[in-house]
Amino acid sequence: MAETTKGPAKAANAAGAVKTAKTAKAVKDVKALKKDLPTVMVLTTGGTIAGKGEAGKSTGYKPGAISGADLIASVPGLEKIAKIRTKEVCSVNSDDITSKIWTDLASRINDLTKDRDIDGFVVAHGTDTLDETAYFLNLTVKTEKPVVVTGAMRPATSCSADGAMNLYQAVATAAGKEAAGRGVLVVFSDRIFAARHAVKASTYLVTGFEGGDMGAIGLIRDDVPYFYGTSEKRHTVSSEFAVKKADKLPLVSVIYFNVDADPELLKFAAARSDGLVIAGAGGGEFSKKFARVIERLEIPVVVSSRIGRGIIVPHALLCKNTVSALDLPPQKAAVLLRLALMKTKERSELVRIFSEY
């Protein structure tokens, strides 16, 4: 009886040895693959992408309730496209983002980019002010390594939450060499935008971001980005703006013009601000009463449009002491003016800066 069992036992042992060898080879292959993967630093700031609330619902949640580490762990397949490092910069609703957080974030990226092992950066951010933060970073980070900003329109606990896919695609974009040297990018719902052009365009749609008149500069499907354009304006390493963590930015207020808007608001804001941005009607228009006050202001005034598309034609400005924001929306004109005022208050220089950035 013992003689008859030797054959099957020997075969079973041989099969086990083959299986063990295959497993060992697979583990070795995975380790080799991971060794060759690019390294992406994910910097988290809170927002809806890290939001938590009642299961299934997309409103009434707490932004920034999920830690950066847990956020990364929630994205399936991320470990197959990049080696991930993560740092939590803050954990807030993006309406509570401050210029102090901006300078901290830019300083961190500028310090971390010296690490040769880091190939790209992703900033996870709330969507309400994401476009402002992305544009600020576009003007202040000093690297050609990819820097990608993303977020989510729905909290992680909602039905069909969009954060995991957006974060996955942002990491895939930041991990690729194709994104290098293009300035800061916004990746959202399968599309890639230049930070200068990206704006939040919906309060609820998962395709919540658009690129204005310029549109998207690329698309991403799964983990493969496809680029079709780039921003021609100065950014990152070609930008003249530099900030330190301790820097205090000048204060710029945005005044929205509407029918019967009180010109006294201009005086009130001017007394408390280093510069103003006017969100004018149409092509940067406002009332004669507004114009009379603006012409007497002693601080820089930039004119944009409340429409969010189109251009403010410089030679058609109603007040000759103002500066055209060109195609920048009011909130981004304010970002650029704050940085510009760290260098100059001269109108001619501000005109140059707004034309180049």
Q: Distance (Å, rounded) from C-alpha 303 to C-alpha 46?
A: 32
Q: Which amino acid is at 115?
A: D
> 3-class DSSP state for residue 282?
coil
Which residues are known catalytic residues? Answer: 48
Whether 252-356 and 34-238 are alike in CATH topology: the answer is yes
Q: Distance (Å, rounded) from C-alpha 252 to C-alpha 340?
A: 11
Q: What is the pLDDT of residue 155?
A: 95
What SS3 string covers 32-82?
HHHHHCCEEEEEEEECHHHCECCCECCCCCECCCCCHHHHHHCCCCHHHCC
Distances from the Cα of 325 to the Cα of 110, 176, 307, 335, 355, angstroms: 28, 33, 13, 11, 8
Q: Distance (Å, rounded) from C-alpha 333 to C-alpha 354?
A: 8
Per the structure block, which two tokens stand in for 348?
Answer: 């001619």
The domain over range 252-356 is classified in CATH as 3.40.50.40: yes
CB-CB contact of 109 with 244 (8 Å): no
Q: Distance (Å, rounded) from C-alpha 1 to C-alpha 335?
A: 87
CB proximity list for 295: less than 8 A, separation 6 or greater: 319, 320, 321
Distances from the Cα of 281 to the Cα of 87, 292, 297, angstroms: 42, 17, 20
Delimit the domains of the chain by residue range. 34-238, 252-356
Beta-carbon-side half-sphere exposure of residue 202 (alpha carbons within 13 Å):
13
Strand 322-324's sheet: what is its strand order? 252-256, 275-280, 301-305, 322-324
Distances from the Cα of 287 to the Cα of 256, 267, 281, 306, 319, angstroms: 12, 15, 9, 14, 11
Write down the residue that tokens 């606990």 correspond to: 157
pLDDT values of the chain reduced to their tens digit, one per residue, 357 residues = 444 445 555 555 655 555 555 555 444 444 445 569 999 999 999 999 999 999 999 999 999 999 999 999 999 999 999 999 999 999 999 999 999 999 999 999 999 999 999 999 999 999 999 999 999 999 999 999 999 999 999 999 999 999 999 999 999 999 999 999 999 999 999 999 999 999 999 999 999 999 999 999 999 999 999 999 999 999 999 999 999 999 999 999 999 999 999 999 999 999 999 999 999 999 999 999 999 999 999 999 999 999 989 999 999 999 999 999 999 999 999 999 999 999 999 999 999 999 999
Q: Can you say whether the dihedral through the CA atoms of 36, 191, 187, 180 is positive or negative?
A: positive
> 3-class DSSP state for residue 209?
strand
CB proximity list for 340: less than 8 A, separation 6 or greater: 349, 350, 353, 354
Please give the class, per CATH, of domain 34-238: alpha beta
Residue 43: name the closest of 84, 77, 93, 98 by CA.
84
H-helix segments, 80-140: 99-112, 130-140
CB proximity list for 310: less than 8 A, separation 6 or greater: 213, 283, 327
Question: Whole-model pTM above 0.85?
Answer: yes
